[in-house]
Amino acid sequence: MNRRRVGALMLALFFVFTALSYATLDRVKLENWDNYLFWVDYPRGAKPTWLGDSSKTVRFSGGTEYVVTGRAPSNLILRGAGEVSITIFRPDGRIVRLNAEINGTTSVNSNTELAIQAKRFAIEELGLRGEDFAFITPTQALFMDGNREPLKGNYTVQVHPPGVEAILVGYTYGPLGTDYRGRDLWVGFVGSTVNTLILAFLTTLFVVLFGIFLGVSSGYYETKFGDAVSVVLEALNSIPYLPLAIVVIFVLSSRGTHGKLEMGTVELAVILAMLLVGKFASAVKGIVMHEKVQEYIESARVLGASDLGIILRHIMRAVLPYTVSYSTLLFAQMIAVISVLGLFQIIPGVNWGSFVAEAFTQNAIYTLWWWPLSPSLAIVFLSVGLTFVSSSPD
């Protein structure tokens, strides 16, 4: 199997994985990624489930079996509306019954009625004291003994009505755990992956469209317009685009939640494309100028072919192979540019760079090492696939 086939297979696997992950993602969580209040009931700094911690997070409706072997679950999150009742059958024979009216997302820890009932059970049935709740949550108390230690064994947790979505929160959560604000890192990773790919694709597309138009028009027609385009292309090629991009983005973007820059994806892609189009357009212009003096072009003119017909039928035939090769490498370059700008919080939106930057902000690079590792591996895998695809045949 040659490199191109390997690269194509890698890219196919990557895009299928990303599409399936995004299709199954909880949209409510994704929309509230920057809403820190939404995540107050989720565990902070939880490990991924694949690390094998005994206290797992379980999502269910109706009822579930839960085994406590080490640490007690930290919270029970509920999402629904109306009267809700919770019944927990403990391994020591005691039965916990809680009920309250809910509307939207709440939890045993944050809902006043449920928290009071949980504390009452712990104090009256287990002999815990009020000051013990400075060290444990109301939910943890429901899974403990009288010595404030986790009561090991099998539990049955039932939530009525069955339409209410429940999450029993342990100290592991999802494929990538949570950050120190309680946010689901898998949601952030998939969301940043999709945003990065969309922005890189749109920027590459606009560079190709703008470049072909400018390169063909300035290379084929020897007019004042062509001369003006040539001057613009030379200026773009001589100016470092990264510093200029930083300035333009900072001036045209607005401040949003938590002081983050905000700008539409299409607008951002157009700005980056206009700053990057110079090199590609100049190359296209060179190809066009070389092709338009060839004998077969002169023959086409003699036979009555129009300029548009010559461009579409003959000139573009020479431009397209270079365009495909260049766009493949440009797509990889744009992913790197977006990630670097995002890492320094310069580019708006959630992307691989900003996703890793938040790990630095929360001092989680070493403690939650899987957080920055996930986008790093994705970048390497995607870059290798694109490099193989753009390489010459073996």
Q: What is the DSSP string of 210-273?
A: HHHHHHHHHHH--SHHHHHHHHHHHHHHHS-HHHHHHHHHHHH-EE-GGG-EE--HHHHHHHHH
What pLDDT, on the 0 to 100 scale, is given for residue 388?
86
Q: CA-to-CA distance for 47 and 244, rounded, in angstroms?
A: 40
Q: CA-to-CA distance for 189 and 12, rounded, in angstroms?
A: 19
Least confident of 78-87, 124-133, 196-205, 342-351: 342-351
CATH fold, domain 54-169, is Jelly Rolls (2.60.120)
| Confidence check: pLDDT of 1 > 90 | no
What pLDDT, on the 0 to 100 scale, is given for residue 100?
93
Helices (H) and strands (E) in the chain, counts: 13, 8
- What are 109-159's pLDDT values in tens digits? 999 999 999 999 999 999 998 888 888 899 999 999 988 899 999 999 999
What pLDDT, on the 0 to 100 scale, is given for residue 343?
82
Q: Which amino acid is at 202?
A: L
| Confidence check: pLDDT of 258 > 70 | no
- In the chain, pLDDT over 70 holds for what percent of residues? 96
Query: If residue 83 lies in a helix (H) or strand (E), which one and from where to where?
Result: strand 75-89
| Confidence check: pLDDT of 290 > 90 | no
CATH fold, domain 185-390, is MetI-like fold (1.10.3720)
What pLDDT, on the 0 to 100 scale, is given for residue 370?
94
Instruction: Give yes or no on whether 54-169 and 185-390 have one common fold.
Output: no
- Local confidence band at 303 (pLDDT 50, 70, 90 cut-offs): confident
| Annotated domain spans of the chain | 54-169, 185-390
The residue written with tokens 């939880």 in the block is 46
What pLDDT, on the 0 to 100 scale, is given for residue 87?
96
- Local confidence band at 242 (pLDDT 50, 70, 90 cut-offs): confident
- In the chain, pLDDT over 90 holds for what percent of residues? 40
Q: CA-to-CA distance for 79 and 41, rounded, in angstroms?
A: 12
Q: Read off the tokens for 325.
A: 């090769």
Give the pTM: 0.80
- Local confidence band at 259 (pLDDT 50, 70, 90 cut-offs): low
What pLDDT, on the 0 to 100 scale, is given for residue 200?
93
- Local confidence band at 257 (pLDDT 50, 70, 90 cut-offs): low
Mean pLDDT of the chain: 87
